[in-house]
Amino acid sequence: MRSFTSVHDVASIGIPTILEQATQFVENPWSFEHLGKRKTLGLLFMNPSLRTRMSTQKAATLLGMDTMVLNAGADSWTLETRDGVVMDGTATEHIKDAAAVMGKYCDVLGIRTFAGLTDYEADYAEVVLQSFIDHSGVPVISLESATRHPLQSLADLITIHQHSFIRRPKVVLTWAPHPRALPQAVANSFAEWMLHADVDLTIVNPEGYDLDPRFTAGAVCTHDQDEALTDADVVYAKNWSATTPYGAILTTDPSWCVTKQKLALTNNARFMHCLPVRRNVIVADEVLDSPQSIVIQQAANRVVSAQVVLYNILRSMQ
């Protein structure tokens, strides 16, 4: 594997092998502690992060790598991302110069860059992530880009796999309300990974929030939450902003919040969310604090997913 930006980057390795590697790292986290010796991972955050920041550094440590972390605009310069513009505004450095320089200091780079949510074409063209791929000269890992969050989705898949359901599980991705406009990346990416896994996926959201069929083709897509939740084995809640018009908040209807009453419709489903989560907006305390919630296991598996990805990138550099 060279770069890791979507499920397509693990196609040649195969999901069963990726899941076997994950199991091995859970059992013996230090088994390749020398693989990344004298290699440096650089992480650039253009947006906030708790889990991605800490889990990716932890994964690098387990593989013997050094890590350097930069927060764009806070402890490094503000970056211009548009090509060919006169840089007489607030941005100090062009992303392609920053990428080329960071590629000289680091063997692998990770970048977090959220969708702007105003220009669909620009977000879905992945301009920022692609600049790093094009100009850094080193493998690039998405730490959540405008349209996908593959390290999260891989951790989600590992978590579902660890529950070893006796039947092919019914996994439901449900939209839930949120006071601010959020990216579609987590939902797109979760859908894309689940459609490559051994699960049945249903996606439910209000009208105007249908995700791009490039990510969801093959899933059952509906607007009726109760019907979708019926008999679910896994309920994955996430807010995302509207697709038409792009980036809008069309509703904050509290009846979409995942409550104990909603979970009663399911097959005693596990509850998942990528975190951070707004309690009693997306999901009720009574669900998040119940044994049905596996959100902390999911967050713990972020170390495992990052370790699997770094392992495969380091192996291909040997």
Under the rule (CB under 6 A), what is the footprint of ligand CP?
49-53, 144, 152, 274-276
With CA atoms as reference, report the closest residue to 135 among 94, 87, 175, 173: 94
- Other residues' Cβ atoms within 10 Å of the Cβ of residue 300: 16
Is 127 or 182 the residue whose CB approaches ligand AN0 more closely? 182
Q: How far is the CB of 102 from ligand CP (least distance, A)?
A: 20
With CA atoms as reference, report the closest residue to 236 among 263, 215, 208: 263
Stretch 182-211 residues interacting with ligand AN0 (CB under 6 A)? 182-183, 185-186
Is 21 or 57 the residue whose CB approaches ligand CP more closely? 57
Stretch 15-74 residues interacting with ligand AN0 (CB under 6 A)? none
Burial (0-12, 13-18, 19+ Cβ within 10 Å), 245: exposed
Is 21 or 145 the residue whose CB approaches ligand AN0 more closely? 145
Q: Taking CB within 5 to 8 Å according to partner kind, which of ligand AN0, ligand CP, none is near residue 185?
A: ligand AN0
Q: Taking CB within 5 to 8 Å according to partner kind, which of ligand CP, ligand AN0, none is near residue 108?
A: none
Q: How far is the CB of 55 from ligand CP (least distance, A)?
A: 8
Which string of b and e fits 194-203 if b means at least 16 CB within 10 Å? bebbebebbb
Q: Taking CB within 5 to 8 Å according to partner kind, which of ligand AN0, ligand CP, none is near residue 50?
A: ligand CP
Residue 88 phi, psi dihedral angles, 5° rounding: -105, 20
Contacts of 40 (CB under 8 A, 6+ apart): 65, 66, 67, 68, 105, 106, 107, 108
Q: How far is the CB of 99 from ligand AN0 (least distance, A)?
A: 22
Is 272 a binder of ligand AN0 (CB under 6 A)? no
Q: How far is the CB of 69 from ligand AN0 (least distance, A)?
A: 17
Q: How far is the CB of 48 from ligand AN0 (least distance, A)?
A: 7
Q: How far is the CB of 187 from ligand AN0 (least distance, A)?
A: 8
* Alpha helices for the chain (secondary structure H): 15-27, 51-62, 95-105, 120-124, 127-136, 150-162, 185-194, 213-216, 225-229, 260-263, 285-288, 295-317
Is 242 a binder of ligand AN0 (CB under 6 A)? no
Is 51 or 262 the residue whose CB approaches ligand AN0 more closely? 51
Q: Taking CB within 5 to 8 Å according to partner kind, which of ligand AN0, ligand CP, none is near residue 139?
A: none
What is d(CA 270, CA 298) in angstroms, rounded to the nearest whole number? 11
Q: Are strands 200-204 and 220-222 parallel, antiparallel or unpaired?
A: parallel
